[in-house]
Structure 1
Amino acid sequence: MALRLVAEFDLWEDVFPWLRVQRAASAGAETPGGGADVLENNYESLRVLNIERNGNVIYTYKDNKGNVFFGLYDCQTRQNEHLYTFEKDLQVVSCSVNSERTLLAASLVQSSKEGRKNELQPGSKCLTLLVEIHPINNVKVLKAVDSYIWVQFLYPHIDSHPLRENHLLLISEEKYIEQFHIQVIQEDGNRVVIKNSGHLPRDRVAEDFVWAQWDMSEQRLYYIDLKKSRSTLKCIQFCADENFNLMFEAPLDIPLSNSVFKLVNFGCDDIQDQDKLSKYPMLCIFTNHTGSLCVCYSPKFDSWEQIMYTVFYFHKGHSKTFTAALGSADSHVTKGITFLNLDYYVAVYLPGHFFHLLNIQHPDLICHSLFLTGNNEVIDMLPHSPLQSLSGSLVLNWCSGKLYRAFLNQSYLLQFLWNTRLDCEKIAVLHCVLSCGQNPQFLEAKIIEWISENVSACHSFDLIQEFIIASSYWSIYPETSSIDKLLPCSSVLTWNAEIPGITLVTEEITLPLMKVHSFKGYWEKLNCNLEYVKYSKPQLHYNNCMVRREWHSLISEEKTGKRRSNVYVRNILDNAIKVISNLEARNLVSEPRLTPLFQEEDNHQRLLLGLMVSELKDHLLRHLQGVEKKKIEQLVLDYISKLLDLICQILETSWRKHNLHPWVLHLNRQASAAEFAVFHIMTRILEATNSLFLPLPPGFHTLHTILGVHCLPLHNLLHYIDNGVLLLTETAVMRLMKDLDNTGKNEKLKFSIIVRLPPVIGQKICRLWDHPMSSNIISRNHVKQLLQNYKKQPQSSMIDKSSFGIEFLPLNYFIATLTNIESSNQALYTFEGHDNVDAKFVEEAALKHTTMLLGL
């Protein structure tokens, strides 16, 4: 299934065997030979009460006398510990233990048996107690009221020494939250007691709220109050000391009533009437380390035909309301929607009906989220009992007593990638897999294998393009999450295609108002996200438009011989050398490449590489605040190296798949089907990179051209060259001139290519081809140079015929003119590198060419 739940704790495997041994030993001591099955008679009372910040699990059960037993499972040592036993028949509402396990807070009510009184505090419905348990000593009554109370110790990040003061939250059904400050002292060695237990200081944290959620990992309290019928979300951050701060307020456009009271993640919800609560809206809040803030909301169901839920992406400034069709009107929904936090994703599912993975880092386009319907077998594999999403990726099934760590299932997603036919699902799964972050080299290899088989399967986006951009983005994203505002994660800018079974409404929302102006950690990132939404429009995503203009300018200067200073060009080429060196360093442990890349200079691609380094570095330096220049420079090198490496990997995979060998570069042989396949994938790579103006590995165009000569008829080859699909590099053309013989077919090919070369390269290439056609081209270039500044001078009408071997007046007159020009300034007009190119050479070439044309 798409979601993989790995059990971290199982009440019946990690606790039950230990309890059974303890009870059997106790019963055996009292009545030898009996008591082995005593726990089995009370197994229904065994349940999880709370999960603390350090991962420890508190649980409870009742013995056959009704005594209430509290135990703790240490997630580090995987050992159980007895905390305390109340020798009364009571029902536990809530329980929490401090980090040193010296104090136990518990809230209890009288037994559910009719007529039974609360013997600890007559006349009260709920009793909240604070117990000294190291060793077991005093019991202090904190509250004795007619409303339910929930308790939760705070867990500050201080591990170096025991705390002298503990802080305990009390959450009342009467809609207020208090914080108790409990000082402890040590007596008689290790005996820990409460100091001044007669008067414990307290603070009122919140009041008049209708909903609250506890974030155990980050020690945050979210709650909603209603003022003038308007729902306002607030957040309290508890610090390492006794201080707490109201961090933000955010209006929520959802209908809530004063009659609603619901708590999330304050331990087990057994006390709250589940049937009653199921009729109220579902609401929960998720954050992650990147500064995201999502409020997930599902109203009560009005129809069995479709389900609606809304996600408020506060870090993006908008909300999305999803409506999912259930497929048939008789598909009755007995349970509510489940929301689970999966770091970069939120999972939304309704057992037996649908499973959605919402991309919370990039929610702008619906195609970046995955929507699976009830027809998929993955839906039925998820637990049907309610799951509670705790901090991070922890998930608790209260009914079974199992604590899971939730992951995206990479193997399932890869298999799904092969089987799906919808473009929207392909792009969504592609991003899901790449964001997993586990063994990226393996995942990229599997995706490339899929791409090589399905390169033309997507119609809504370019598959190679999307993979290169997305994978390069995710490769450096963990290093600084702020990069998501400056680098594109996708090549897809808009998506108008429908998602089957899903309708979507997007609305702008009011941003949270930050109440504290000194930010650290998560709050700094959230505030940065909010500032970006406020002021950064249009988006600051990098693109290569500046590189495109500058590159074309440099190439144009090269053709005209007016290139700017050598220092500037040398710096650009040095940037390219750094990228290639960085790429080689990253691939030291990988197997050597078979493809003949990086084996030539290819100055044009090196210019493009160097320009991209320069422009991207300037872009990040302008907008990436608080990051060292050296780190930014390394980020740029890593990002561009990754781009090149992915292109090489795609080509390498295709090369290995079709079992090509280096002799593919030899031209005097017939093309094979394998070469056709590799040529096709290279053409698709070229299309993908051209539209984004991304650099290619030096040597790519040479290999592409040589494969084109192998695979294409001459007219198709020339069409590809004229339309820029094949770029004629000096290396490729020189190989053509040397390797191909002078048969009629090859002569035609060579001439067709030479006339398409820039003059500077053409002159150099013609010297390699000992052929009348080559001499003709050299002669033309020589004549063009001589005559470009020629001014006609008066000449004698008489020509000395004795100096010419053939009596052909037009040619004789022309050669005489050239001879005159050459003699007037020999040093200036000598053809560079060819001292023997003169008027005589031109005459001989003209005669040979004429003879060849006439077939004489």
Structure 2
Amino acid sequence: MLLHLVAEFDLQRDVVPWLAARGWAAALDTSENSLVLYVVNVERNGKIIYTWKGNQRNTHIGLYDLQTKQNEHLYMFERDLRIISCSVNSERTLLAVSFRQYTEEERVSRLLQSVSKYLTLLIEIHPINNVRVLKAVDSCVRVQFLYPAEGRNTSTKSRLLVVSEDKYIEQFDIHVVADEEHKVVIQNSGQLPRARVVDDLIWAQWDMMEQRLFYIVPKESKTTLKCVQFYPDENFNSILESHLDISVNDTQLKLVNFGYDYCQDQDVASKCLNLQVFTSKAGGLCVCSSLASDIPDEIRYSIYFLHKGYNKTFTVSLERTESHQLKEVAFMNLDYYVAAYLPGQFLHLLNIQHPDLLCYSLFLTGEDARIDMLQNCSIQSPLMSTVLDCHVGSMYAVSISDSALLQFLQNSKRDSERLAALHCALLYFRCIEDLEMQIIWWISENLSTCHSFDPIQEFIIASLYCRMCPETHNLDKLLPYTSLLDWIGIIPGVICATDIISLPVLKFQNSKGFWEKLSSNLESVKYAEPHLHYHNNVLRREWRNLSEEREERTTTAYLRNIFENAKKVLSHLDSWDSEERLVPLFQEEDYQQQLLMGLMVAQLKDHLMRHLQYVGKKKIDQIVLDYVANLLNLVHRIMKEVWRRYELHSRIFCFDERGSTGEFAVFHIMSRILEAANGMCMPLPPGFHTLHLGLGVRCLPLHTLLHYIDNGVLHLTETCVRKLLKDLDDTEKNEKLKFSIVMRLPEALGQKVRQFWNHPINANFIARKYVKLLLEKLGNRQCSRPIPERLSVPVEFLPLNYLTNMLAEIENQGVHPYEKQGHVNVRFVEETALKHTMTLLGLKYS
């Protein structure tokens, strides 16, 4: 199962034994139609309020503390009542209770028409003392105490929200006094001060952790979502307004997280608006709604991503259409994801941070979607990553199982599933080392099975994103989180329609936390053109231009600054310990890669300076260096893991034997890393090309090796070529390999390494290149450079004598093509030509 549930509270486990020990559990085995033990509320501090019937059918109220794992008896009514709503203040001195006194039938039979059906009481419970009637009405009432900020002394005043079925919400201010015996008494003898918070609402949800009230009021032709924020200083303000295109035909008031009245929920759940609001720590605000569908085997639900400015409506074709099993979609808040769950059908994890591409949301069916502990939809999310099963009376901590996610990743056959699982593993779990290792192993096995995305690119970009973004506010809006620009795939059985919606209007000043982050998200949506995320288009073009103009610009101040950036990155790299040196990457000069490193530093710094001026230049410099250094370390991490997996050793550069199967696999992975790096225009660690070429020499046949070199897959490096020329003996096969490599060397690199191969073939190559350059320069301008003295060797071979005489004549005319390449001794050329000629004739030379 992908979702992992841990029971933090269970009535049967945590309450029943406590009741039994005190002799209060005898009445719990009553008829199946009588609910005698159930949860009625969950408070902000994690305390759970429940009620049960005692031996004499008395109605008791108890409290369970999740932190101390202790139960506490709060109050007892000497009557058989059905508790509708209950709340206790943070000091546990006051208890608000709403219950139904009589049913309509009972009132008629007892001739009690003048007696109110529902009663709401405020009770002093520390110690048990006075009882005050707040409401005596025929409409249902819910109660909820406000909780102050932690550490704030509010023992002299409590605030209570009273929610009426008549569609209004009031706030009662309750002042108390404590005498010397710590007895708490309500101070006002008359009517308690009250203030009207909301009128004419049709739906409301309480956010106990952040003390926020979301509610919906019908406004002309649109439905308007609003939010009231309650502050520790006893004030409250309307802080948000957003228009939603949600049809509300029913007049039944729907309340979410205002306690759990089970009987009422069972009666009217199908008639009420199934809607919930979820927030995330990163400033995400989502409205989840289950929609009616005219087609029996279809389920429709809609997610309003208010922080992104669009709405996605999903239509799911069900695999099994037994009507008696179909229920409404249940929604769960997992912070980074919103879960839409239909038992026995599907589990849809919708990405809140990055909902633009559907491939970043996990859609599971069958066994993958099964949640054993949740077999019905009577669930609520009173806290983030928490689910309360109302019927069972259990509260679970919900998280995504990393082992189940890896299993799903390994078993997935579709790119959409692989990409969603990969994205979840990297960004939801935040770089857990063991998980990261297993992902790298999966990537090494599935490089050829992913067709619509490059798993190496996605791994590097997503890992960089989750490493860097927590450091600085708003950095997540400037750094890329994916290598994909779009995705045109489909999810079988799911149709998604996207609609642009108006952004919410916020009304607050100097508010921190969630509202500040939401405001920042909305600002980024407004000014997202040009796109805020860093792109490599300019980097690629500048790198190509500088690479082609190397000779002309090697001394410019601009290039000196670029290479200074590269030096800072290399010095900023984490030290590679002995275990990491298992991969023989060398700290060597690599002009192209250092140029790319320096350019990336410069351009990323410019990008961040345009949007993060308030952070400061010093901090931005640090962020940029960390980003590029982490990029190089991630490539090295991939190399280290595949090196360890295929059990390679550091003696890869012994060219006298062929490579193993494991080496060939690593060579293939390195080729894909290179392809991914070229696609993203990102630098590679020093020595990458040397190691890649060394593995290529060991693993590939000569014609394939040369094909890879000619097509730019393998790059000739001084370190590898020099070792190749020095270490390999001059057998016929090795001569052919060396000569083929030497022929392909760039001129500057060739002059450095050819001297390490003392062989007639190499000398012949040098001589032929010298003659070719001489002949190409025939007729060019005269050179005033003095001709060096030469010693002629008489040779009885007329063609060679004629060639040397011609070269001498050309040289006497002042043509010297090696002005830039340096001096070439003509005697050496003559001897080389003689050796080559006699070799071709089969003659012995002495």
Q: TM-score, normalised by structure 1?
A: 0.91
Residue aligning to 1:33: none
CA distance in 2, matches of 1:583, 1:378: 45
CA deviations on 1:110-148 (whole Å, 9 max, x unpaired) are 045953699999621221111111112211111222211
CA distance in 2, matches of 1:205, 1:303: 40
Report which stretch shifted further, 338-347 or 597-606.
597-606
Whether the 8 Å CA contact 2:83–2:100 is kept in 1: the answer is yes
Residue aligning to 1:172: 164
Q: What letter corresponds to residue 8 of structure 2 in structure 1?
A: E
Q: What letter corresponds to residue 527 of structure 1 in structure 2?
A: S
Q: Please tell me whether residue 507 in structure 1 is matched to residue 483 in structure 2.
A: no
Task: Report SS of the residue matched to 1:663.
Answer: coil
Whether the 8 Å CA contact 1:485–1:539 is kept in 2: the answer is no
Deviation at 1:732, TM superposition (A): 1.2
Residue aligning to 1:624: 612
Task: Report SS of the residue matched to 2:15.
Answer: helix
Residue aligning to 1:675: 663
CA change 1:483–1:151 in 2 (3 A) is same
Q: Which runs of 5+ in 1 are unaligned?
A: 25-35, 795-799
Residue aligning to 1:100: 91
CA change 1:603–1:121 in 2 (3 A) is farther
Residue aligning to 1:849: 836
Q: Please tell me whether residue 76 in structure 1 is matched to residue 89 in structure 2.
A: no
Q: What letter corresponds to residue 350 of structure 1 in structure 2?
A: L
Report which stretch shifted further, 680-689 or 595-604.
595-604
Report which stretch shifted further, 229-238 or 480-489.
480-489
CA change 1:8–1:830 in 2 (3 A) is closer
Report which stretch shifted further, 490-499 or 689-698.
490-499
Match of 2:673 among 685, 695, 717: 685
Q: What letter corresponds to residue 523 of structure 2 in structure 1?
A: E
Deviation at 1:423, TM superposition (A): 1.1
Deviation at 1:157, TM superposition (A): 0.9
Deviation at 1:848, TM superposition (A): 3.0
Whether the 8 Å CA contact 1:423–1:458 is kept in 2: the answer is yes
Alignment of 1:293-332 (within 5 A): 293-330=285-322, 332=324
Match of 1:572 among 556, 559, 562: 562
Kindly tell me the number of residue pairs found equivalent between the two proteins: 830
CA change 1:628–1:137 in 2 (3 A) is farther
CA distance in 1, matches of 2:623, 2:697: 39
CA deviations on 1:225-272 (whole Å, 9 max, x unpaired) are 012242111011111111111111111101003513100110103253
Task: Report SS of the residue matched to 2:289.
Answer: strand
Task: Report SS of the residue matched to 2:403.
Answer: helix
CA distance in 2, matches of 1:53, 1:793: 91
Residue aligning to 2:280: 288
Match of 2:683 among 689, 695, 718: 695
Q: Please tell me whether residue 400 in structure 1 is matched to residue 392 in structure 2.
A: yes
Q: What letter corresponds to residue 562 of structure 2 in structure 1?
A: I
Whether the 8 Å CA contact 1:212–1:222 is kept in 2: the answer is yes
Deviation at 1:653, TM superposition (A): 2.4
Q: Please tell me whether residue 723 in structure 1 is matched to residue 716 in structure 2.
A: no
Residue aligning to 1:53: 44
CA change 1:109–1:669 in 2 (3 A) is same
Q: What letter corresponds to residue 302 of structure 1 in structure 2?
A: D
CA distance in 2, matches of 1:130, 1:543: 61
CA deviations on 1:735-758 (whole Å, 9 max, x unpaired) are 111112222332232222223222
Whether the 8 Å CA contact 1:281–1:300 is kept in 2: the answer is no
CA distance in 2, matches of 1:160, 1:169: 20
CA change 1:660–1:355 in 2 (3 A) is same
Residue aligning to 1:256: 248
CA distance in 2, matches of 1:705, 1:63: 81
CA change 1:336–1:121 in 2 (3 A) is same
Whether the 8 Å CA contact 2:85–2:98 is kept in 1: the answer is yes
Report which stretch shifted further, 765-774 or 206-215.
765-774
Match of 2:591 among 592, 603, 622: 603
Residue aligning to 1:181: 173
Whether the 8 Å CA contact 1:804–1:812 is kept in 2: the answer is no
Q: Which runs of 5+ in 2 are unaligned?
A: 785-789
Whether the 8 Å CA contact 1:107–1:126 is kept in 2: the answer is yes
Residue aligning to 1:17: 17
Q: What letter corresponds to residue 673 of structure 1 in structure 2?
A: T
Alignment of 1:816-835 (within 5 A): 816-818=809-811, 821=814, 832=822
CA distance in 1, matches of 2:197, 2:825: 98
Deviation at 1:538, TM superposition (A): 3.6
Report which stretch shifted further, 339-348 or 390-399.
390-399
Q: What letter corresponds to residue 752 of structure 1 in structure 2?
A: S
CA distance in 2, matches of 1:782, 1:671: 37
RMSD in angstroms over aligned alpha carbons? 2.9
CA distance in 2, matches of 1:477, 1:221: 30
CA deviations on 1:515-567 (whole Å, 9 max, x unpaired) are 23443211111111111112212422112223223323333333x254143x5
CA change 1:813–1:652 in 2 (3 A) is same
Q: What letter corresponds to residue 812 of structure 1 in structure 2?
A: N
Whether the 8 Å CA contact 2:426–2:459 is kept in 1: the answer is no
Report which stretch shifted further, 203-212 or 803-812.
803-812
Deviation at 1:846, TM superposition (A): 3.1
Alignment of 1:798-809 (within 5 A): 805=795, 808-809=801-802
Task: Report sequence identity in percent.
Answer: 54
CA change 1:113–1:831 in 2 (3 A) is closer
Whether the 8 Å CA contact 1:766–1:777 is kept in 2: the answer is no
Match of 1:815 among 793, 802, 808: 808
Residue aligning to 2:138: 146
CA deviations on 1:713-767 (whole Å, 9 max, x unpaired) are 2222111111110011111111111112222332232222223222111111122
Match of 1:584 among 574, 582, 587: 574
CA distance in 1, matches of 2:616, 2:36: 57
Q: TM-score, normalised by structure 2?
A: 0.92
Match of 1:714 among 693, 702, 721: 702
Task: Report SS of the residue matched to 2:659.
Answer: coil
CA distance in 1, matches of 2:342, 2:650: 55
Whether the 8 Å CA contact 1:103–1:132 is kept in 2: the answer is yes
Residue aligning to 2:734: 746
CA change 1:722–1:199 in 2 (3 A) is same
CA distance in 2, matches of 1:830, 1:5: 73
